[in-house]
Amino acid sequence: METRTFISKRRCSFRIATGCSDTAENIMVKIVAGDDFGIGSASPSDVTHETVKTVEGFLAKVPKKIVGTDEGDLSGVHRRLDAIAPGNTAAKAAVDIAIYDLLSKRERKPLHKYLGGTRGDSVLTDMTIGIESKEVTVKRARKHYKEGFRALKIKVGLDLDDDVRRVAAVRNAVGPKVQLRVDANQGYSVEQAVRFCEAMKTIDVVLVEQPVKAEDYAGLKKVKDRSPVPIMADECVKDVADAKRVIRDRAVDLINIKLMKSAGIHDAITINKLAAEAGIGTMVGCMGEIQLSIAAGLHFVLSSDNIKYADLDSHFNIIDDPSSRLEFTDGRLRAPGAPGLGITTPFDE
Ligand SMILES: [Mg+2]
């Protein structure tokens, strides 16, 4: 297994309710099995308590024969990864994605077809606007509209009244047809969240993401029961166990799945399946990811009709992305037709 670390600058700094970031760090992994190889990548973040150092440290402990004798046995791969250490989900995602790339290349299918997808090769994605002044927020919204985006995700959670004004200003600026999503990143109390969601209803926002603290599952359910807008879990659902909890308690209407939280596609499939069985839709989101793992998220979106939304936009803001080939037309992110992820990286050389 080979690894390469890329520290990329963001085009503009990105502020959310829990902090601010100027860089995006990604670690690429190449796994070779016989004549075939697959590539994946990890994007460490506070959400999964990982850094470049922890990812590199974890990957250094992954045995060379991680795929074992049966390369299709992803459960076995994850058992071996979990035996190294718990957590480290972004590092595990890199290995998982590389193996799915390898397996689908071997069958000469784009990954979404390998996963059984029948919904075509593209999906509407939003573009996220961090917490900025009302003027800058509106300026960015207009710019993204011109770039072709027809869905926008606005970060909120620092100041409720200002948040409502900013979202309303974006709605005015882009008109009624653009889909608006809002993410509070745990910034509100239950009472604030309910008030905020009532205001969002009048602005025709389709979902409000993680309004309260990740550990406040009871509060999340209270918001969900009183909100006129669908509530989505993000930080409070990292793995299959968390997903089971919010599904059992009917604490949310939607779940944001991110491959960096779920240790890759294998458990993302399980979370989405459990959600679908409970009538809960999902979104696939991302961290500060390069095209490589964004492509993995996209292929996963295209594999299931239960995935209602895609929030796959981090690569648009990364300067010098070492991976390429994803296309964006008419507000939609398009998967390459080539086998596997279909992404070109320095590992191909
Ligand atoms: Mg979120």
d(Cα 91, Cα 51) in Å, to the nearest integer?
10
Sheet with 231-233, strands from edge to edge, namely 127-129, 151-155, 179-183, 205-209, 231-233, 254-257, 281-284, 307-310
User: 240 and 290, same structural domain?
Assistant: yes
* Distance between Cα 186 and ligand 1 center (Å): 9
Q: How far apart are CA 237 and CA 285, in angstroms?
A: 12
Judging by beta carbons within 10 Å of its beta carbon (0-12, 13-18, 19+), is residue 19 exposed, middle or buried? exposed
Looking at 87, 108, 129, the residue that finishes a domain is 108
State which H helix or E strand residue 100 sits in. helix 89-106
Would you name the residues annotated as active-site residues? 155, 183, 209, 234, 258
Distance 304 CA to ligand 1 centre (A): 21
Give residue 183 CA to ligand 1 midpoint distance, Å.
6
pLDDT in tens, the chain (349 residues): 899 999 988 887 778 877 778 889 999 999 998 889 999 999 999 999 999 999 999 999 998 888 767 778 999 999 999 999 999 999 999 999 999 999 999 999 999 999 999 999 999 999 999 999 999 999 999 999 999 999 999 999 999 999 999 999 999 999 999 999 999 999 999 999 999 999 999 999 999 999 999 999 999 999 999 999 999 999 999 999 999 999 999 999 999 999 999 999 999 999 999 999 999 999 999 999 999 999 999 999 999 999 999 999 999 999 999 999 999 999 999 999 999 999 999 998 7
Residues 214 and 84 in one domain: no
In a shared domain, residues 333 and 200: yes
> How many whole angstroms from 58 Cα to the centroid of ligand 1?
25
pLDDT at 21: 82
Counting Cβ atoms within 10 Å, is residue 189 exposed (0-12), middle (13-18) or buried (19+)?
Answer: middle
**Domain check: are 145 and 80 in the same one?**
no
Number of domains the chain contains: 2
Q: Domain limits at 49?
A: 2-108
Between CA 294 and CA 234 the distance in angstroms is 17
My answer on whether 85 and 156 are in the same domain is no
Do residue 140 and residue 284 come from a single domain?
yes
184 and 65 part of one domain: no
Same domain, yes or no: 293 and 151: yes
152 and 296 share a domain? yes
User: With 0-12 CB in 10 A as exposed, 13-18 as middle and 19+ as buried, what is 235?
Assistant: buried
**Centroid of ligand 1 to alpha carbon of 66 (angstroms):** 31
CATH number at residue 257: 3.20.20.120
SS3 3: strand
Last residue of a domain, one of 71, 88, 108: 108
CB 47 within 8 A of CB 287: yes
Radius of gyration of the chain (CA): 19
Same domain for 41 and 120, yes or no, is: no
Same domain flag for 188 and 228: yes
CATH of the domain at 71: 3.30.390.10
How far is 213 from 187, CA to CA, in rounded Å? 7
Are both 221 and 298 inside the same structural domain? yes
